[in-house]
Structures are given as C-alpha cells and as structure tokens.
Amino acid sequence: MNRLFFLSFLLLLSLGCETPQQVITPTFPTHSEQINLNRIKMITKSEAVHSESKEEKKPLAKEPGVSVDYSENKIPFIQLDLFFEDAGISIIEEIIAGTILDHHIIVLNQKGEIIAKQPVNFQAYEILETKTEVMRNKVIVGESKKPVKVNSTTPETKISREAIERQYTDRDTVPQVLEILDGKVPNPGEYISIYLELTFVNPHLEPNCESYFGNCFGAKQKFFEDVTLRNRRELDILRNRYVEGEVAQFPNLTPTEQSEFKTNIKSKIDSTNGLYGPKHGFTKFYFREWNLVSSPRYFRIVSVNKNGKQLSQEERHEDKKQSDDSNGNSKSEDDSHSIFDSPTHSKHKKRTIPTP
C-alpha cells in the first residue's frame, strides 16, 4: 500500500513540472591531437634508421653517444635527426604554414653553456635528375642502293633536373647539422643536452564550418595568409636554385618579420571578431602565442674526429688555442662562413702576404 502511494505521488509530481527548454550549444571543430613536448626528440642516425623500419620499434637509448666531426671547412659539428612522431604537431609543415614563427635547436655542455644554437633546417625539395643518352646514327647508301647504319662513336648526354617539394609527416626524421661555436668543442666522455624551442601561434576559437562554406580552416588561413605567401615565394625561389644545382637553405623569418607578422595576425583577428563569425554569433577569436620548449635529451660525447682520425687531448688543446688566437682577427674582418660553404669558396682560399 505504501509503495502504491509513493508511485502515485511521483506521477503527480512529474505531471506538475514543466519540461525545460532545450539549450542549444554551438559546435566547434574538436582537435583530437594534443601537443606532447616529450615526443619531440633529437635522435642518433642508428635510431633514425630503426624508426623508419617496419619492424617493432625499440625504445630510445638511455645514454646515446654522439661524435664531433670536422667539415672540410674545419668547422666542428654534430649530426643528429629531429624526430617528432606522435607529438601532435608536424613541425616542418607548421614552419611552412607560418604558424611556427621562430624555432631553434639549442645544445648545452655539462657546464650549462650554449655550445650550439641554430634554426631547424630541412630539405625543402628532392631533386629528380634524369640523364638521357642520345646516340646519333649515320645512314650511308652505297652502290647496292641499300642503306647502311653507322653508329656514332660520341653519344650525347642530356641532363634534366626537376625539383619536387617534400611533404613531411610526423613520422619523418629530419637531419640536422649542429655547428659548434669556436672554442666550445666538448671532450670525449663529457655530456651535452639538446632541446628545441618553438614560438607557435594558434588562434582560438575555431569557427563553425558552415560560416566558411564548409571550410573549417577558413579563418585560420585568412589570419596567416601573408606569412604563408611569403614562405611560398621563398620556396619557389629555392626550387629554381635547386634546379640550377645550388645547395641552399630555406630562409627563416627574421626578428623584424616575426614582429610584423604577429601584428598583422592580431589586426586580422580584431577585424574578424563579430564580422565574419558563424550564424549563431558565439565565435570570438583570440591571439594565442605559445613559447614551447621540448624535453632535453642527453648525449655522451664518444669521440672528436678530424681528418678521419680521433684527436688526442693535446691536439684538442692546440686546436682550441689556434681558434682563440684567430678569433680576434676574424672579428675585425667580414669573414663569417657556414659549414655549408664550399671549401673552395673565396673565403677559404689561402692568402699570400708579400714580405720584403
């Protein structure tokens, strides 16, 4: 009896209550990926080869070793690969798109001193080189009135080059050559740490796709169109240089360009808010700048190699002394050069000083 009374009371209570109106919440594109800075790593060549294989991947070494080598220009460097699989950000593609405005790989010695700092480098194009060998035949007609073909002894070779733009995914490894500053070459057995710094601009919120005719990234493309066009122009110039056989790097944004593009993006966001938003009117864009720092990874210096042989401790001290002595003279001359310079470049030619 008590149970019947209780059920009747609940029925009366439910009939007496008004049904609340449904609240419509605007929908925005959701991003399933999150940036995981722990997944951005510098790895050795052996680890890079293994990461590209289809076999079961092994965990990265806890104490990887790396060697310091010298280029033909006598510049010390360390060669590693940038790896960012499952990091939630395709670094190279974001650099080209203009959302990563600034980027540097930084190397510290075990004293905490910076021994190398340079932007992320990447091969923008792959060169497809086609060689065509043309053999010209001579046709001679003799008394028999039948043609006789005589092969030419000097075939002509034609070479054509085509630059194909590389598309990077987060599973690609990107080789990096890190030039070590003068007098900062670490000794074998010492440890270095390497990490990546990024300035990433990502406006918030993304609009409803229906307001941009189904293009969910319409507003974002509008904000970054100036820096994207700049990068595309530089890539077109780079393509022509590659076809001509030159080795060149993608020119990164200067500090002045970074500042100008940030101001431009902010201005476009301010003009877009409330003008081109979705029909429901809930979208508002915010300028967001993230200064990201990846987790450092530590490497042990295995050896220091020059001219194909390992340098002894005494040779390293002598080499460092010569570097310090020449450093003062080099500051007074405009003789800056890079590891990418040819060893026959005019900057590296021997200079003859006449003596009385």
pLDDT in tens, 226-255: 999 999 999 989 888 887 877 788 888 999
Binned at pLDDT 50, 70 and 90, residue 189 comes out as very high
pLDDT at 282 over 70: no
Calpha distance 167→122 (Å, rounded): 11
Average pLDDT over residues 243-271: 87
pLDDT tier at 19, thresholds 50, 70, 90: very low
Over range 3-15, report the average pLDDT. Answer: 53
Count Cβ atoms below 10 Å from residue 163 Cβ, excluding itself.
19
Helix (H) or strand (E) holding 130: strand 125-134
**Cβ-contact 282, 237 below 8 angstroms:** no
Question: Tell me: the pLDDT tens digits for 62-115?
Answer: 788 999 999 888 899 999 999 998 888 889 999 998 999 999 999 999 999 999
pLDDT at residue 34 is higher than 60: yes
| pTM > 0.75: yes or no | no
Using DSSP's 3-state secondary structure scheme, residue 127 falls into: strand
Where is pLDDT greater, at 60 or 73? 73
Query: For the chain, what is the mean pLDDT?
Result: 75
More confident residue, 312 or 186: 186
pLDDT exceeds 60 at position 37: yes
Q: Which one, of 168, 158, 167, lies nearest residue 135 by Cα?
A: 158
- Which ranges constitute the DSSP H helices of the chain? 2-16, 45-52, 91-97, 218-223, 225-243, 255-272, 313-331
DSSP H or E segment with residue 81: strand 76-83
